[in-house]
Amino acid sequence: MGVVEGTSYSLVILAAIGFGIALLWTAVSSLLIQPKEYTCFNVTLDKLRDDPRVTVRLGTPISGYGQESRNRAARQRIPHRAYNDDSGTEHFQVQFHAKGPTGAALISADMYQDAAKQWQYAFLFVDVTNPTPQRLVLIGPQY
């Protein structure tokens, strides 16, 4: 075996190891690292459960889900949009459904992380659909 042949085998082995590491990183990051839209969903749902204006209208316990559908995958998928504002801060807008024993609502939130890496709201709206349609502005837009 010559120098060129040995070098080419080494390159193939290194490429295979690199591909394996990339594949492992993708699998671990998708299973263990929670996407930001799901973090926003969980923080917002906890805020709704603690707000008396929401619990009076929807009751307790309150559950949240992505889309109105019988399809489990559609219910677990949270519609979201990521964008950067004028100052370069990354925002996440999420929209999901919340349901309690006495009502249902469509939730719209715009969230971002501050300098301390804490989630803050640009706005949080609760559009109650049942029993009486109305909009609750839990956190209004700040201009």
Render pLDDT for 27-50 as a digit per residue (tens, 0 to 9).
777 667 777 888 888 999 999 999
Strand partners, 135: 127
86-95 pLDDT tens trace = 888 889 999 9
Provide the pLDDT for residue 143: 60
- Residue 74's CB is within 10 A of a number of other CB atoms, namely 13
Of the pLDDT bands very low, low, confident and very high (cuts 50, 70, 90), residue 81 is: confident
Please give the C-alpha separations between residue 86 and each of 68, 83, 91, 115, 122, in angstroms, as whole numbers. 33, 10, 11, 16, 14
56-73 pLDDT tens trace = 999 989 999 887 777 776
Q: How far apart are CA 53 and CA 48, in angstroms?
A: 9
